Amino acid sequence: MKSSKNSSGGRLFDQKKSAPKTEKRTIKKGTNKSENKKDDFKPKRKIAISRKSSDSFSKESKPKFERTKSSDSYSKDSKPKFERAKSLKPIFKKEGGAPSKTSKPKIVKKVSETEFRLNKYISNAGVCSRREADTYIKSGNVTVNGKVITEMGYKVQLADVVKFDGVSLNPETKRYVLLNKPKGFITSMDDEKGRKIVTDLIRTACKERIYPVGRLDRNTTGVLLFTNDGEMAKKLTHPTSNVSKLYQVTLDKNLKLADFHKISNGFKMDDFDVTVDDISYIDGESKNEIGVKIHSGRNRIIRRIFEHFEYDVIKLDRVVFAGLTKKNLPRGIWRHLTEQEVINLKMI
């Protein structure tokens, strides 16, 4: 096909085009307003275009778009912070505030500390359970102030004398506390001279008033039992019970073998005979460390034995009392007896 030529002999379209002429539009009056708006519209964003030629773009001359910053835009660091709105519900304090719908007023009953039901009184005394106590009350085994009581729910006062089969009862719960007594404390409930007493060490053990079973000298350390069980304390301290005690004695000098045998065989001191259950040197220690097992409850009996043979006791520690030991019990610390230990004491 032959290419058409213009009058000047050239081709109709050259390879290089001339720049197109822009046509001016004239807007006549009375034309559509929507057309005017389209023509007047101007884009907000500016586009900068660089060209090498009028009709082609190179890779290096891609159009660059510049985004104009607006006041509404923000970066990650400048995110708006929102504060949590406070609860619109009214908050009421415990004091002076209105009660909630679900809360109900608590009714606190005043419990008398001096008044007990008779079955609880008997149970606290350690006789039996409350249910069993009701059976004994119906059977007429219980008297209050000398009068037989068979009424269920009968209440007694602490000042009342309650007897079960003729034996007086103590309504307090029985407590048994073991103390590893330190040096410098007097075995007493109080002291007029203001000296340290053993009860200061066990005040937090229980709310009941408990008493020491037996005595330990001020400078004697070791096992000391406290209880409010009067019958138990009386039995453990009575000479006929033969309750054994084991002491570790430290003397000012070595114990001679001759004196050792005299103490072991028994001897007479002052106006009474002295016998020990056992005496021995302590293995691995010097000859001034002695172990003595005895059941006598005489005052300061261990010190008096060695003083009789002209020895001074430097240190005296009670290691065992009625089968109770100070194992895992540091100086000045107390603990409650286990149930099995209480049973063992009752079997003595």
The whole-number pLDDT of residue 230 equals 84
Confidence of residue 84 (pLDDT cuts 50, 70, 90): low
Q: Give per-residue pLDDT as tens, 267-279.
A: 999 888 999 999 9
Q: At what angle do helices 339-346 and 230-237 cross, to 10 degrees?
A: 60
Residues identified as active-site: 217
In which residue are the tokens 């056992």 written?
278
Position with higher pLDDT, 15 vs 241:
241
CA torsion angle for 65, 66, 70, 73 (degrees, to 10)?
A: 70
The whole-number pLDDT of residue 52 equals 46
241-259 in b/e burial notation, b at 16+ Cβ within 10 A? eebbbbbbbbbeeebeeeb
Identity of the amino acid at 97: G
Q: Give per-residue pLDDT as tens, 312-333.
A: 999 999 999 999 999 999 999 9
Write down the mean pLDDT value for the chain: 78
Cα-to-chain-centroid distance, residue 150: 45
Contact criterion met (CB below 8 Å) for 176 and 235: no
Confidence of residue 226 (pLDDT cuts 50, 70, 90): very high
CA-to-CA distance for 65 and 145, rounded, in angstroms? 110
Residue 137: which residues within 8 A CB-CB, separation 6 or more?
118, 119, 122, 149, 150, 151, 152, 154
Contact criterion met (CB below 8 Å) for 208 and 113: no
| DSSP assignment of 289-309 | EEEEEE----TTHHHHHHHHT
Confidence check: pLDDT of 188 > 60? yes
CA-to-CA distance for 293 and 291, rounded, in angstroms? 7
The whole-number pLDDT of residue 129 equals 83
How many CB atoms within 10 Å of residue 126?
15
Largest CA distance in the chain: 168
The whole-number pLDDT of residue 112 equals 55
The whole-number pLDDT of residue 81 equals 55
CA triple 208-210-213, angle to 5 deg: 160
The average pLDDT across 19-24 equals 51
Which of 93-97, 173-177, 197-201 has the highest average model confidence (pLDDT)? 197-201
Q: Give per-residue pLDDT as tens, 280-302.
A: 999 989 999 999 999 988 889 99
| % of the chain surpassing 90 pLDDT | 47
Identity of the amino acid at 283: D
CA-to-CA distance for 336 and 176, rounded, in angstroms? 6
The whole-number pLDDT of residue 239 equals 83
Tokens coding 215: 């005595």
Query: 3-class secondary structure for 166-216?
Result: CEECCCCCCCEEEEEECCCCECCCCCCCCCCEHHHHCCCCCCCCCEEECCC
The average pLDDT across 139-161 equals 91
Closest C-alpha to 226, from 174, 182, 270: 174
The whole-number pLDDT of residue 101 equals 52
Contact criterion met (CB below 8 Å) for 198 and 187: yes
Residue 172: which residues within 8 A CB-CB, separation 6 or more?
124, 125, 208, 228
Q: What domains, with CATH codes, occur in the chain?
A: 115-168 (3.10.290.10), 176-238+327-346 (3.30.70.580), 244-321 (3.30.2350.10)
Identity of the amino acid at 148: V
**Pairing relation of β-strands 211-213 and 245-251?**
unpaired
The average pLDDT across 28-53 equals 50
Closest C-alpha to 290, from 267, 309, 268, 272: 309
Confidence check: pLDDT of 29 > 80? no
The whole-number pLDDT of residue 305 equals 96
